[in-house]
Each structure stands twice: as C-alpha cells, then as structure tokens.
Structure 1
Amino acid sequence: MSLARQVLVLQLLVLAAVVLAGSVLTVFDERRDADAATRREVVAIAESLAAADSTAAALRSPDPSAALQPQTERIRAATGTDFIVVMSPDRTRYTHTDPELIGQQFTGTIERALAGETFTETYAGSLGPSIRSVAPVYSDGRIIGLVSAGVTRERISDQFMRGLPLLLAVAAGALALAALGSALLSVRLRRQTLGLAPTELRTLYQHHDAVLHSIGEGLLVFGTGSDTAEVVNDEARRLLALPDGPVTRAQLPPSLRSIGPGTVKDEVHLTGDRVLVVNQDPVSFEGREIGTVTTLRDHTELQSITGELDSMRLFTESLRAQSHESANRLHTVVTMVELGRTEDAVAFATAELELSQQLIDRLTTAIGEPALAALLLGKVNQAAERGVDLTVTEDTALPAAGPLSARELVTLVGNLVDNAIDAAGTHADGERPWVEVTVRSDGAELSVRVADSGPGMSPEALDKATAKGYSTKSDHRGLGLALVMQVIARHGGTITAEMTYGSVVLVRIPTGGTE
C-alpha cells in the first residue's frame, strides 16, 4: 500500500479505538454520575421528610399510616422515586408503595440511622435492587422513627438507556468527522508523496542522496519564491566555498545572486578563484512551476589552459608570419645578388635580421619565463596586424616569475595587453595607435604596466570591469579584467588606472623578497 493509504488505515484504527474507549468510559462515567445524582436526590427527600414536623406528629399519633401514606405517595409521585417508607425504630412499616406491605418489617440496614446518621446504600429489597437512603426522625431529642426513600436500579437503567442513543450518536458523529479528516489528510499526503509506498520513498531518497554526492557538477535547487536552497550538493559547496547547513541566496557570489528565475545556458561566472559555467532551468510539476535547478561546472583549469594555448597559438602564428616574411626577404636578397647588387643585398638582409633578432634576443634575455616571452612576441605581431604599434620597454626585466605561475603570468599580462590593443585600435584619432608594456620584478614587487593611446578608464569604470561576474560571449571575452583580478586577489596585489602619458593600468604584486 502507498504511504497515504497506510496512514489512513492506521489513523482509522486508532480513531476507532479512541472513540470506542472514550464511549465506554463515557458510559461508565454517566452511570456513575446517575448513581451519584440518585443518592443526592434520595438523601434530600429522606432528610426533608424526616425533618418535617408533620412526620413527627404523625408518628406520635395512634394511626401513623393514615396520616403518612397519602403524603408520602404524593411526594413519591412528584419526585419520581420508587418508594418512600416511614417506619418505627423496630422496622415496622407505616407507608409503602405497595399497601399490602404496610405493617411488615422493613428489609435493609437501619443501624446507622438509629445511631443518628443519614446514609445511603444499594440493597435488594421488596421492589428489587435499589439505591436507598435512611434518615432518623427526631422528637424531643429522641429518635421516634425512620424515613427511607429509594429508586430502583431498573428505573435508573431506564433513564440511562433513554440518553444512550444521544451518546452513541455523538460518538458516531465524532468517528465520522475524524474519518473525514483522515481521508482529507490521506488525499493531501498522497498528493505530496505521489502515491509512493514507504519502501519506494526510501529507495528514492537513497538514490537521490547517492546521486547528489556522486555527480561531478555543482547543484543548487531553489523553490519558487524561496531564498533558501532546498538542495545543495557537495560539489556546489566546494565550488562556491559554502558552509555546512542551510544556504541562502545572500551567501552566493554576486553574479549568481543576480540570476533571475528564467533559463540560463552556458553562462560563464567568476567567483573569487574559479571560472564556472552555469546553467539554470525552471522546474514544473503538473503545470505549476515549483522552482529552479542550477548546475555549476568548474572550468578554471580549462580557462587557464585555453589562455596558454592562445598564447602559444599567437606565438606560432608569429613564427609562421616571420617565416613567410623571411622567405620574402631571402628571395629579395637572392634576386639582388643575381642582379649584381651585392652590397645592397647585404645591407638589406642585415637590417631586417637585426631588427627581428634584436627583439627576440631582448625578450628572451630580459624575461626568464619562456611562456611570457612567447606571449609578448605573439602580441607584437598580433598588434601589428591590427595596425597597433606594441612596444616592450627597455626596462622590462623579469628574471623569474616570482610568486606567479606561468599560467598566472600569461593570464595577467595577456588580458591586460588584449584590453589595451582593443582600446588603442578603436579610439585612435588620426595618429597611429600604440601600446607600451613593462614587466619588472625588483625582488620585493612584481609590477606590470600597460599603457595605450586609448581614451583611458576611470577608477569607477575599473571597479565595474574588475567586478564583472559573467559573460555570455562565445569566446568568453569580457572576463579579462575579472580574470586579472582573480590573480591579483590571490597574491594580495593591487591594480590602478590613471591618465598620464596615455591610459595606464598598473598592477603591483608583492613577491615577499627585499630589494
């Protein structure tokens, strides 16, 4: 059976048992209350009749029965009791419901009444089992008679049985109302559990938990209108550095907090030290939207490798271009030799070779990291193809990468140079655009200065660009400064922008050494 049906059956059984037990206890309680009420009633009748002056006067008269029998019968009929007996101290009856029993001995206990006490008892007398009371009648301080009033058990049972249908109806109504409530609860529970049995729910939970802990992507599930995540798997906590316990939107990186409830496909978001590819889809059930599922894929290493590959591609293209250019120069030199212009051929070949080799020798000598040297050589040729003069200044000196890895150097310098080439090439005003790069390490600090002929960037624009958290561009450009900020923040550096001899961006990263 489904969980909802099992709960329904269990509730019905429990409710039936509770109502039945409550009804039985109510019956016993009502029976006890009826007996208590009867005792109070017969005691009041006996004491009232015993205290009446007319009763004492009748007992002193020659024929007590003649005076008392009509009176007691009227009282019995008015009060609904079964008998009222007035007797002498020796048990002789003066009154009775059955006139034939007048003058006979009263059956029952009278010793306590003869001692001056009014009491009640249950006794099987001439009319059957009854609840009766006995009270003494005083005259001049002396007991001259006794009064007994009683109601038979049969009458008490009849009165109780007349009220029993109402009691049973109330119990049945309570059971029906409880059953209706249980049925409604069962319907709600069936809807919430999709009609699954407990074993199916347990299996589903076990599989759900196993999948959440085993998948390699981060997973966040938010309910509609909720700021607290309903599901956060281990990978999501690792990628976003989330603490244990409930996770709210406020704990997510700024760019993820700004995602709306709609569909997101392959957006690249940056956290403090990671590059994440984010996808989000709304989830609907029975035509009603119940939340969103967000997945996170870690592309940090891939982004770094892509940057290195870009630098090597640029270097390769630079070498290919140089090879093509060298072939052109070689053909020119050969032709000039064939034409007999030997001196001109030597001068031409020497000048071209000297310029190219001078740049290569200077970069490989000044920069101890081959990947960075290759990157700058590639950027020189890339800038030239776009009509931008890129210069690596003479004071560039980087014996070693210092605290930065080769990947970090390529990311830092490559993105700054790309941004400068874009700015210089786009905003040139008649003059040939230029970019100037300086990379230095003096032992205590690594500095990267990139200047260009572009319009520059205000501190506010720099803050906005470096805080950018995502990009939807296919080549992921637009993340450049944000990636640069990751490297800077990782090593406790700073970045500033100013307008001096051009638009200058300066990055300083402490190396931990001394000058």
Structure 2
Amino acid sequence: MRVPRPRSPLRSRPRSLAGQLFAVQVVLVAVVVAGCAVFAYVSGKSQAREAATHRAQATTQAVADSPSVRAAIGSDDPSARLQPYAEQVRRDTGVSFVTIMDPHGKRWTHPDPDRIGEQFVGHIGPALRGHTFDETYTGTLGPSVRVVTPVREAGHGGREGRIIGLVSAGITIDTISRQVGEQLTAVLAVAGGALALGAVGTYLTNARLRRHTHGMNAVELSRLHDYHQATLHAVREGLLLLDGEGRVALVNDGARLLLGRDGPQELVGRTVADLGLPPELTEALLAGEPRRDEVHLTGERVVVVNTAPVDGGERRGTVVTLRDHTELRALAGELDSVRGFAEALRSQAHEAANRLHTVVSLIELGRVAEAVRFATEELELAQALTDRVVSAVREPVLAALLLGKAAQAKERGVELTLDPDSGAEDVPGIPGRDLVTVLGNLIDNAVEAVTGPPSGPQTGTGPAGEEPADSPRVTVTIRCTRSGDLLLRVADTGPGLPPGAGERLFERNWSTRPGRGGGIGLALVRQTAHRHGGEISARDLPGAGAEFEVRLPLPQQAGSQEVLR
C-alpha cells in the first residue's frame, strides 16, 4: 500500500516590506557607525603618535638650543645643574622623560635619579652625525616614541660648533594608548548615540511605512499591483482618480473611451480643466461634494457620473466612476416611442369599438347610408396619413416613428402632418437608433411646446409671449438635399423660442419648465448630429411657432440613391 507523503509544514509569512527595510536600515546604520568608530580609532591612534613625536621633537630642540644647557654641560658637575632643569621641562611639556647625555651616551639626567650615570638605552648614531631623528624604542621606562637631538657649542663665523652633548625626549606607548583610550571612549559614546538616534529614526520611518503599506511584504505589494492593473484595464466602466489639485492621478481605458480621450495623449498629471471636457462635466468632476448618478454628455456619449471625495483630515482627491448610457438612452427613446404607440393603439381600439357600436346601431335603425359615411370618414383620414408617410419615407424606422408619434400626438389633441415636400429612401449610412434619437426628440419637443401650460416661457419654439394657435399642429419634413444631406425639420405652432435662449437651448439640463424634468432631449439631438458631422439650428417662425432643423451628411453611395426634392 502506498503511504501518502506528509504535507510540508506551512511556510511562515515573510516579513512585511516595512520590517525588511527596518532590518536592513538598522544593519546599515550599525555598519556605518561601527566603520566610523574604527576609522576614528585608527586615525586617532595615528594622530596621537604624530602629536607625541612633534611634542618630543619640540622639547629636545628647545633644550638643545638653551644657553643654560650649554653652560651646564661645560661645568664640573653637569648633572647637578641639568637634572632639576630637565625635570621642570618634563613636567611643563607633558613628555614622559627628558634625558641629557654626553656624546658617548652617558646620562646626566633621568626621571629616575638612580639611572643617572648609566648608559642611554637606544640609538644615538644619527644624532652624533648632526641629525635629529625619531624612533620607537623600548627603554628603561618601556616602549616609547622618542626624539634625539645633538647639543652643539656656540659657533663662530657662521660655522656650527662641535657636538658637546645629546638630548632625548619621549612619550611612552602606555601614555599614548591611554590618551587614545580616552578619545575612543568619547568616540564610542558618540557612535552609540548616533546608532540609537538612527535606530529610533528608522523605526519611526518604517512604522509610518508599515501603516501606508498595511503591513504587506514586497511580494504581496507586487501581486496587489498586478491585480490592480489587471482590474483597472478589465472593467468596462470608467474609473478616474483625481488628486487634491484636480490633476488626473489615474485613468483606465474605459474612462478614456467614455471621455472621448482614448488617443495616444497622456492624461495622467494633467488638470481636468485642460482635458477639453464640457463645462458641466468639468464642474461635476471638480465639485467638493459627492455627485450621484448625474447624466452628462461628452463628445459622442451619454455618461452617468458618480464622484466621491477622498478625505483624510484634508481633501486628498476624488474618485470618479463613469458608466456608458448612450445605448440605454437610445433604447429608452425607442421604448418611449413604442409605449406611446401602444397607448395610442389602445385608445384607438377603444374608440374603434365605440364607432363600431355606433355603426351597428345606425344599421339597426335602417340608416345604412349614414352608417357607411360615419364609418369611412375616420378611416380615410387615418389611411391618408399612412399612405402619405409610407410613400414619401421609405426608411422603415422613420416611417414607423412618424406613425407612432402621429397617433400619440392625436391623443394629446395635436395634429402631426408630413410636409408634402418630404421624400427619402433608405438611409443605410445612419443607424436607426440615431434617427429615432434626433427625430423623436424634436417631435416630442414640438408636441410639448404646443400642449404646454400658457404661463411662462416654452421649450418649443416663435416670439415669446404670443398665444399658441387655435389648432395645435406639428409639421415634419424629411428629405434628402442636393448637397447630399438628410434634412430633418420639425415646425410647431407653439409660443416660440424663449428670448435670448440661443445655444443654451441645446445645453444639458437647460429647460424652460422647472420641476418637470427633461433638459436633455435637445442636447442629445445636438450630440448625435455632431457625431455624424451634422448641424442643428432653431429659428422663430413668422406669426407664431418655431422650427428646428437638423442636417446629417449622407454617405456618398447612399446619398446618390436618394430621391432628391
């Protein structure tokens, strides 16, 4: 039977990045401080030896040049006069010994009086040749750094006198080591303080780093970065991070696409005001308060914006999410048209049932001619509109939209007619959704204008303040021009354009009916027209009413097949 292999014990979790850096920094600080201490010790020891040599040399030179020393050497008992002098010089200069001797090395002075008269322990040859030299030698006081200088009698005529004695002064190695030890204690104290301060500073720095990295190690941080990058570029929704100065700190591919900035230009580091976005969108992105599900228009898209400021005692930035609602808005427009069409059909079915009951009753009363006349009047009117739309507008989306809007307008007491000058074949170069967006919103806007409340300015369209016509009417023109454009024109008999509206008519959230919603229909029309390279215009009509006109360039092949009127 196969024996299963025991599982290896779980590996312990690696140290956090802050912990690893703390250990490395402590070691580095310790090595640097130790190196500095060793260097200071070695350098101090070398400097102490040099200082001892210079002091001894200065002492021997001063003694050798002293006239009293020359005079004492020439006396009958040099030791009696030189010993007190030498001891005084030794105490004043801080050297370990000052020895004055004859040219043969016999001592006249010594720190230990019992050594006077004995032979000097050390080299004197270079001094007898007239040279001052230094050496490290072990004498009666132990190892020492010493200097030997010749003593000459006074010269005459610029000539040096003969050597009448020698002077040796030195400092013992023990004295030098004791001085170096005192310096080393101070160096170690400073090094210990530097090490302690370095450790405390390193600990505080790494404690802060640990808070910012949430205690994760390098592998975890690298993995988190990889996940972050993969997630950032995988989501379709737009994600935009702004710093406290309103500059782009991070942006994913979805945000670039939705903002219409998906080219090669670099966005990170640029301010939002420099991105060339619509003013309303720029204001929303830079707002200090959160924004929830705000609908905004970019160059080609409808986006829903959510913002959340990042606060930590002070404003650190803003997190922005963007969702694409372009297709949803188009589908919503189509759905509204279908819903209105269905409601109109339901109402017409109800009216048809009433008319059918009336026809049956007239027949039962024997009034057949009146029954036929009553039954055909409404059918002729409805069929006339249907025939006119189907014959003039071959584009199925536009034809269906017109019939649905006509039924919906009739339910609201508005007559929707097709201009006799209309005529267009299929329009393959322009998506049906965009046609529904443009024409549907223009018709809805016109119907609202002729059925709205009389007080206050109207969204529709004619000199402000004039009363609407007695018979509300909306006239639609659809045709292809000789310049290769698809012309969509909607005129109404409403009160006309508000005074001074101008281009504000096509801005998002601009409405002449506060509290009733809207404010995006005409903005969507302009956005769609611009996306196809077209244009939109509005003007007052003589007398009353207004007219909105959209021109959309047609593809060359499609435009050549259109019916030109």
Same fold (TM over 0.5): yes
| Mapped pair 1:456 → 2:496 | yes
Contact 2:450–2:468 (8 Å) recurs in 1: no
Could you tell me which residue of structure 1 aligns to residue 457 of structure 2? none
* 1:494 alignment counterpart: 535
Q: Which secondary structure state, in structure 1, belongs to the residue aligned with residue 417 of structure 2?
A: strand
- Answer whether contact 1:120 1:131 (CA < 8 A) is retained: yes
Further displaced range: 504-513 or 122-131: 504-513
In the TM superposition, 1:23-42 aligns within 5 A as: 23-42=37-56
Preserved CA contact (<8 Å) 2:509 2:518: no
Identity %: 47
Matches within 5 A, 1:313-392: 313-392=339-418
- The equivalent residue for 1:509 is 552
Classify 1:29/1:245 alpha carbon distance in 2 versus 1 (closer, same or farther; 3 Å).
farther
Q: How does 1:282-293 map to 2 (within 5 A)?
A: 282=309, 291-293=317-319
**What number of residue pairs does the alignment pair up?**
512
Which residues in structure 2 correspond to 1:462-473 (within 5 Å)?
462-468=502-508
| Structure holding more helix per residue | 1
Query: After the TM superposition, which residues 114-513 of structure 1 pair with which residues of structure 2 at under 5 Å, given as runs?
Result: 114-139=128-153, 140=155, 141-144=160-163, 145-223=165-243, 225-242=244-261, 243-244=265-266, 246=268, 248-250=271-273, 251=275, 253-254=277-278, 255-259=280-284, 260-282=287-309, 291-401=317-427, 403-426=429-452, 428=454, 429=467, 431-432=469-470, 433-443=472-482, 444-457=484-497, 461-468=501-508, 477-501=518-542, 502-511=545-554, 512=556
- Residue 102 (1) aligns with residue 145 (2): no
Maintained 8 Å contact 1:401/1:409: no
Distance 2:31 2:510 in 1: 63
Partners of 1:466 and 1:459 in 2: how far apart?
15
Q: Give the Cα separation in 2 of the matches to 1:442 and 1:480.
A: 25
CA-atom RMSD, angstroms?
2.9
In structure 2, list runs of 5 or more residues that go unmatched: 1-14, 455-466
Contact 1:275 1:299 (8 Å CA) reproduced? yes
Q: Kindly state the Cα deviation for residue 341 of structure 1 after the two structures are TM-superposed.
A: 2.8
- Between stretches 34-43 and 316-325, larger displacement belongs to 316-325
Q: TM-score, normalised by structure 1?
A: 0.90
Distance 1:240 1:441 in 2: 33
Cα deviations by residue, 1:339-372 (Å, 9 ceiling, x for unpaired): 3333333333333222111110111111111111
Equivalent position SS for 1:220: strand
> Does the aligned pair in 2 maintain the 1:412–1:487 contact within 8 Å?
yes
Structure 1 window deviating more from structure 2 (24-33 vs 160-169): it is: 160-169
Look up the match of 1:87: 101
- Counterpart CA distance in 1 for 2:507 and 2:162 is 110
2:289 counterpart SS class? coil
Equivalent AA in structure 2 for residue 258 of structure 1:
E
Structure-1 residue corresponding to 2:459: none
Q: Who is 1:7 aligned against?
A: 21
Q: Is the 8 A contact 2:296 2:305 kept in 1?
A: yes
Q: 1:384·1:390 contact (CA, 8 Å) conserved in 2?
A: yes
Contact 2:418 2:475 in 1 (8 A): yes
Offset from partner CA, 1:176-214 (integer Å, 9 cap, x none): 211221221132122212233444434433333333233
TM-score, length-normalised on structure 2? Answer: 0.82
- Cα deviation for residue 504 of structure 1 reads 1.8
Are the aligned partners of 2:509 and 2:519 in contact in 1 as well (CA < 8 Å)? no
Return the offset for 1:103.
2.8
Q: 1:150 to 1:375 in 2, by over 3 A?
A: same
For structure 1, which runs of at least 5 residues remain unmatched after alignment? none
